[in-house]
Amino acid sequence: MSFPQTLGELRQSPFSEENLRTRRVKDELRDNLIAKIRQSKQIFPGIVGYDDTVVPQITNAILSRHNFILLGLRGQAKSRILRALTGLLDPQMPYVAGCEIHDNPYSPICRRCQQEVARLGDDTPIAYLTPDERYVEKLATPDVTIADLIGDIDPIKAARGGHELSSEMTVHYGLLPRANRGIFAINELPDLAGKIQVGLFNIMQEGDVQIKGYPIRLPLDVAMVFSANPEDYTARGKIITPLKDRIGSEVRTHYPASVEEGIAITTQEAWTQRNGNKTQVPKYVREVVERIAFGAREDKKIDKRSGVSQRLPISCLENVISNAERRALRHNEKVVIPRIGDVYAALPAITGKLELEYEGEMKGADHVGRELIRVAVAKTYDSYFKGVDMQQIVQWFDLGGEIQLSDGASSSEALHSLRGIQGLVEKATKLNVGPKDTTEAQVSAAEFVLEGLHAHKRIGRNEERVFTAGEKQPKPPEKPFEREDMPIRNRRPYN
């Protein structure tokens, strides 16, 4: 499809003057959102777990034509949601070709475009922007200046064009004017210096900006959205009150509400389909990885104000698969199936994403990480084997049985050793924790059983991954014998 290339052609096209002159960005977002709702289309594809919480609140904000802010801890898809707003913009937007601030051809606001339209009339060249080109994002840092956001004098423009420094033609536009007729996003808003936050007042309320020292007014058409950590936004006072007052809606994000939602997000984001051997990740391995993040968010040794990002299970699962892939490559195995031992090998992907409290620092990140894995294994094991009699397996170890399962051992070697434990492989595959047709799957399922028993302290395991009998728990001391006919206050044990 060919688009009009001049202003004259544009007047005869569906991009009518009335439509482009009166329909602002927030109206455009609202119109396209209404169309999606009526057609029952997904508003934010790829965003999992927010259908009943965050998405309705964002929908209300857009329908109200509000500037809004997403408040949430790290790893809650805030930036992803903001970038997904481009899906609510029109496929093409005409503007005066060459304009730095993408001026509306029917009502230009910059001096250069006003002169261009006056000089060329219907021959004014027209260019087009895609939705992605209409999204401008800035990460707020303390060194951001007003010139970065709004604009400043450009002496080079003045020298090259022969303009006076007081001329509008010497303005170098900042990010905010360059986002004209689009979406402008600021990530981590509280990190913006207070005096810079003041510079956003005009665009938030009056819809215009004033360039440094110039007697000009630019009535910009911008939808402004922000993201922030709630701790910075509320408790530390890093955002000035007048700016908060100008933000129309405040939407709180959250971590996945269930393990299933977490698995769906991790499966969507993690790089699991490698370009080598065939990869199969058992469901119980995915559950263990996800429960690590859920356990960390509840652990008192981990800073809750910092949060535990959803990137933890994503990075962890990728490391788990990589460790299994390395083993498969070494032993020329045809299929890559991770084991629980691979989760322990992925500890570096866990410890770096945990902000520890004092108690956690005293114990060390490795200790905290291993304990999180153990608890995750125990909970996952219960979901598969709760109520299943494993006494036969435990008794094998109590009678002196011992087995070493290195995460680097080949599947055939490990399965040969595991078959020596009566009933283990049969119990593991009987409950359909993995496919029965491959050696790798049988080893992974059997190791899951042993790790589950170890997590419940029914059998032991050392750092070399040697499984042995569990430590016998000492019985509580018996109460001293007392005469029943003696009053309670006078009862004494016999010597």
The pLDDT of residue 260 is: 95
The pLDDT of residue 214 is: 63
Domain residue spans of the chain? 7-252, 266-469
Tracing tokens 């509320």 back to the chain, one arrives at 234
Identify the three-state secondary structure at position 250. Answer: strand
The pLDDT of residue 235 is: 45
CB-based contact 316:265 (threshold 8 Å): no
Q: What is the mean pLDDT of residues 245-254?
A: 93
> Residue 432: how many CB atoms within 10 A of its CB?
11
The pLDDT of residue 58 is: 97
Please state, in angstroms and rounded to a whole number, the distance separating the CA atoms of residues 473 and 418.
26
Q: What is the mean pLDDT of residues 271-287?
A: 89
Q: What is the mean pLDDT of residues 206-222?
A: 75
Please state, in angstroms and rounded to a whole number, the distance separating the CA atoms of residues 108 and 305.
47
Widest CA span in the chain: 115
Q: What is the mean pLDDT of residues 100-122?
A: 89
For domain 7-252, give the fold. Answer: Rossmann fold (3.40.50)
The pLDDT of residue 166 is: 61
Please report which confidence band the pLDDT of residue 237 belongs to, taking 50, 70 and 90 as the band edges.
low
Torsion of CA 206, 251, 151, 93, to 10 degrees: -80
The yes-or-no verdict on residue 491 having pLDDT over 60 is no
Q: What is the mean pLDDT of residues 473-487?
A: 52
Tracing tokens 């999204």 back to the chain, one arrives at 135
Q: What is the mean pLDDT of residues 235-244?
A: 74
The pLDDT of residue 161 is: 64
Residue type, 23: R
The yes-or-no verdict on residue 493 having pLDDT over 70 is no
Please state, in angstroms and rounded to a whole number, the distance separating the CA atoms of residues 8 and 123.
6
The yes-or-no verdict on residue 494 having pLDDT over 50 is no
Q: What is the mean pLDDT of residues 121-142?
A: 92
The yes-or-no verdict on residue 342 having pLDDT over 90 is yes
The pLDDT of residue 495 is: 44
Structure tokens at 256: 């996945």
Beta pairing, strands 466-469 & 403-404: antiparallel
Of 377, 343, 398, 376, residue with least CA distance to 449: 377
Please report which confidence band the pLDDT of residue 110 belongs to, taking 50, 70 and 90 as the band edges.
confident
pLDDT tens-digit series, residues 291-326: 999 999 999 999 988 889 999 999 999 999 999 999
Please report which confidence band the pLDDT of residue 173 belongs to, taking 50, 70 and 90 as the band edges.
confident
- Tell me the whole-structure pTM to 2 decimals: 0.85
Please state, in angstroms and rounded to a whole number, the distance separating the CA atoms of residues 258 and 297.
13
CA distances from 384 to 394, 428, 462 (A): 17, 10, 24
pLDDT tens-digit series, residues 69-80: 999 998 999 999
Structure tokens at 47: 């965003």
Q: What is the mean pLDDT of residues 453-479?
A: 79
The yes-or-no verdict on residue 399 having pLDDT over 80 is yes
pLDDT tens-digit series, residues 354-364: 999 988 899 99
Of 69, 72, 88, 193, residue with least CA distance to 131: 88
The yes-or-no verdict on residue 213 having pLDDT over 50 is yes
- DSSP alpha helices (H): ranges in 271-364? 283-298, 311-331, 340-345, 348-351, 358-363
- Contacts for 184 with CB less than 8 Å, ≥ 6 apart: 136, 137, 138, 175, 176, 222, 223, 224, 225
